[in-house]
Amino acid sequence: MSRPPLPGAPHLAWGPAGLSLDGQALDALATEHGTPLYVYSRPAMRAALAPYQRALAGRAHLVCYAMKANSNLAVLQTFAQAGCGFDIVSGGELARVRAAGGDPAKVVFSGLGKTRAEMAQALDAGIKCFNVESEAELDVLSDVAAASGRRAPVSLRVNPDVDARTHPYISTGLKGNKFGIAHTRALAAYRHAASLPGLQVVGIDCHIGSQITEIAPYLDALDRVLDLVEAIEAAGIPLHHLDLGGGLGITYTDEQPPGADALIAALLAKLDARGHGGRELLFEPGRSLVGNAGVLLTEVLYLKPGEDKNFCVVDAAMNDLMRPALYEAVMGIVPLRPRADGTPELRCDVVGPVCESGDWLGRDRSLAVQAGDRLAVLSAGAYGMAMASNYNSRGRPAELLLLDDGRAVQVRAREPVESLCALERLPDA
């Protein structure tokens, strides 16, 4: 039986014991730790970070891991130890950065709904910058900072109205998206920010979407941002850094995104050509650092043939991995140990136990499996466990991290049923 290509190779590979990650047999890990189970590779994360760091060597820069992709503390520690900063979108994420040993002075705080309490928390921590997404937010942040006798460092997230040519749910740079300040309003917003007593303008920010597989949208957005930079500085407002966002895609099936080094080289060339190469550059990659560094392991519970469609029922569900149901995302699904006993392939939907018709992990897959076999959902390191829930009162999976020395360390325990009710209270009768 032919074996499909593996996004995440060479860390993910076929071996005598079936599918392995960093040389660890995944079927053995599933036996030891149970399923559903997320497994991540620390060496794969570092390998994904390396082209960013190589391409930016010699430039003033900061790579801020967009931790919404995967906020496990061990993942954050991996990037903190590699010198990264962090792109956060909540006070809870800031608390996680600090718990993992990250430096708050390397944190940028994005998101369009920051509360006063979160602003105060970030000011107290001494973060690098607030990426502000509305003029109303400028006023509130200035009030919060001035009340404590401080000035908040800010950049404005500008919406350049550029089509990233990605799924509409993860496109963020069009004028119809909720994110950022409209390109046409940006200069006025910067003038307003510079007039407020509690703010210090330090940069400009742009992020056009996620799972982007072409360089052209980035270059289009950069041209529009640089036009604004020149207009803003002509108005007497200096900008220290350019935050060019993240969103670089990965290979899930047959996508062919550019490498991070190729993308950055193209951006640097444009910056240099337009005379802006000396500024500090910030990037906010998330998916491209962790997506292909992780897999979700699941066990086949039942094969259910039907008149119109066959189903492979597994013990992982939409509460464990939301991407297929939310985005109709297509992710590779392969048996951990391909059968050699002549079991025929079944064309089927891979579905979970949750009581929703949208509870599927893969549609129309050809799998030669029987009940008790295990499968790997590939490219599951980003927006997997980070989006997991307790829907249907299901405990969330355990998480393992494979270290450089070959050890497999459990970095999050499986959620026990007792914890599901731990924060609830029955009223007195």
Q: What tokens does 256 get?
A: 């062919």
Residue 327 annotated as part of some ligand binding site: yes
Structure-derived torsion over alpha carbons of residues 104, 267, 47, 61, reported in degrees to the nearest 10: -30
- Catalytic residue status for 421: no
Q: For the chain, what is the HEC assignment?
A: CCCCCCCCCCCEEEECCEEEECCEEHHHHHHHHCCCEEEEEHHHHHHHHHHHHHHHCCCCEEEEEEHHHCCCHHHHHHHHHCCCEEEECCHHHHHHHHHCCCCHHHEEECCCCCCHHHHHHHHHHCCCEEEECCHHHHHHHHHHHHHCCCCEEEEEEEECCCCCCCCHHHECCCCCCCCCEEHHHHHHHHHHHHHCCCEEEEEEECCCECCECCCHHHHHHHHHHHHHHHHHHHCCCCCCEEECCCCECCCCCCCCCCCHHHHHHHHHHHHHHCCCCCCEEEECCCHHHHHHHEEEEEEEEEEECCCCCCEEEECCCCCCCCHHHHHCCCCCEEECCCCCCCCCCEEEEEECCCCCCCCEEEEEEEECCCCCCEEEECCCCCCCHHHCCCHHHCCCCEEEEECCCCCEEEEECCCCHHHHHCCCCCCCC
- 383 in a labelled binding site: yes
What lies within 8 Å, CB to CB, of 232 at 6+ separation is 186, 187, 190, 204, 239
**137 assigned ligand-binding residue:** no
Amino acid, res. 140: V
Q: Is 36 annotated as a binding residue?
A: no
Q: How far is CA 47 from the centre of its chain?
A: 16
Does 284 belong to an annotated binding site?
yes
C-beta separation of 104 from 127 below 8 A: yes
Task: Please pick, among 64, 206, 355, 421, the residue that the annotation labels catalytic.
Answer: 355
Is 98 annotated in a binding site? The answer is no
287 known member of a binding site: yes
286 is an annotated ligand-binding site residue: yes
Q: Is 209 annotated as a binding residue?
A: no
Which residues are known binding-site members for substrate? 287, 323, 327, 356, 383
| Numbered residues of the known binding site for pyridoxal 5'-phosphate | 247, 284-287, 383
Binding residues: 247, 284-287, 323, 327, 356, 383
Tell me the catalytic residues.
Answer: 355
